[in-house]
């Protein structure tokens, strides 16, 4: 998987400074890269590492930065260029081709000629898998599942019945898509299950991290838009709608029937209540609790940032006294107003 610096520059429409014939065998960080590796500088706070890095070459944004290293590729967006080049160095993770002999496949399933099916895969009736798709070991595809072109399921993914997956998607291990949503009706102190009659639909170019779950809709489908990126251990409840190119970080939980717009970013450990609407281009910072709809684009936060424990305890004590302090403030305000009235009448 070796490439010359010139070849890599051509891939990202960059300009070479130094040796275009330098062979790059791997990618690495500025701190730990070797002379055979290409690194990148995207965050200015790491600029000082250019003076000490052992990287063979570095992706940088300006000619001035390129002068700080022996070899560089000058490109408008080094981080994006690094992302593109990472595809060239991805290792082969699959040791079989075709359909493994241990797979159990219904005779009614329709598989394209160049689909790869791993060991111990189970494919139920009426499943349709399009060309170039890879189904990793131990995956289970329920009845009526449909998967588009060039999608990859890593080992032990479970797709319940009638789930629809688009093209060029990546679904990591232990993901469960299409389990029942949390729907129960109270009945004299007991809970009556509401059968979940919808499904889940993923558009093209969606990626879902390991151990995340997406519940099927109660009546209509749960919908994940084009290009959505979902991190590990994210819970998406029934009938949630997520707009195109939204990214959701780890351990976020989204309650049922909430609609999230396009090009949003939801940071880690965010809780989003149900039946809300969040507009496009909203950024929610980590550990926030979203309890009402967000109609305007922008950045939103809740909770309290870290501080020394002793100070945090004092802050919490004051927060618990806010109601009492507010009453005292109102009383003081009334007393001041009375004093001002007396002064005015003199």
Active-site choice (101, 238, 275, 292): 238
Q: Which residues of 280-302 are buried (b: 16+ CB within 10 A; e: fewer)?
A: ebbebbbbbebeeebeeeeeeee
CB 288 within 8 A of CB 305: no
Answer positive or negative: Cα dihedral of 47, 49, 50, 51.
positive
Residue 334 CA from chain centroid, whole number? 52
Helical segments of 70-109, H only: 78-86
Residue 272 CA from chain centroid, whole number? 15
Residue 129's DSSP bridge partners are 111, 147
CA dist 232 and 229 (Å) reads 10
Catalytic residue status for 283 = no
CB 138 within 8 A of CB 118: yes
In what order do the strands lie in the sheet containing 134-135? 116-117, 134-135, 152-153, 170-171, 207-208, 229-230, 247-248, 265-266, 282-284, 298-300
CB 220 within 8 A of CB 238: no
SS3 335: helix
The DSSP 8-state label assigned to residue 128 in this structure reads E
SS3 of 270-306: the string is CEECCCCEECCCEEECCCCEECCCECCCEEECCCCCC
SS3 149: coil
The DSSP 8-state label assigned to residue 324 in this structure reads H
Task: Report the catalytic residues.
Answer: 238
């Amino acid at each position: 998987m070796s490439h010359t610096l010139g070849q890599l520059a051509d891939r990202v429409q960059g300009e070479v400074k130094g040796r275009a014939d330098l062979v790059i065998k791997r990618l690495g960080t500025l701190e730990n890269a070797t002379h055979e590796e290409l690194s990148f500088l995207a965050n200015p706070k790491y600029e000082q590492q250019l003076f000490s890095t052992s990287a063979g070459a570095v992706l940088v944004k300006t000619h001035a930065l390129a002068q700080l290293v022996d070899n560089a590729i000058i490109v408008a967006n080094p981080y994006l260029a690094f992302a593109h080049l990472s595809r060239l160095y991805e290792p082969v993770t699959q040791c079989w081709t075709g359909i493994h002999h241990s797979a159990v496949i219904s005779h009614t399933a329709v598989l394209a000629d160049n689909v790869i099916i791993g060991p111990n895969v189970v494919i139920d009736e009426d499943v349709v898998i399009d060309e170039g798709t890879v189904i990793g070991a131990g995956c289970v595809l329920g009845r009526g599942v449909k998967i588009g072109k060039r999608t990859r399921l890593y080992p032990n993914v479970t797709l319940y019945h009638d789930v629809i997956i688009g093209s060029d998607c990546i679904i990591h291990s232990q993901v469960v898509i299409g389990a029942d949503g949390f729907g129960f009706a109270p009945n004299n102190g007991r809970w009556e299950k509401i059968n979940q009659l919808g499904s889940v639909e993923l558009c093209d170019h969606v990626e879902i991290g390991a151990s995340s779950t997406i519940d099927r809709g109660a009546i209509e489908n749960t919908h994940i838009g084009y290009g959505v990126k979902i991190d590990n251990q994210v819970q998406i409840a029934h009938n949630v709608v997520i707009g195109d190119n939204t990214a959701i970080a780890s351990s976020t939980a989204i309650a049922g029937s909430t609609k999230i717009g396009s090009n949003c970013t939801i940071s880690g450990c965010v809780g989003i209540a149900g039946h809300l609407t969040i507009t496009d281009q909203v950024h929610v910072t980590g550990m926030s609790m979203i309890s009402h709809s967000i109609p305007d684009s922008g950045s939103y936060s809740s909770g309290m940032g870290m501080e020394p424990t002793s100070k945090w305890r004092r802050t919490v004590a004051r927060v618990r006294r806010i109601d009492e302090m507010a009453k005292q403030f109102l009383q003081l305000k009334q007393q001041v107003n009375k004093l001002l009235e007396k002064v005015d009448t003199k």
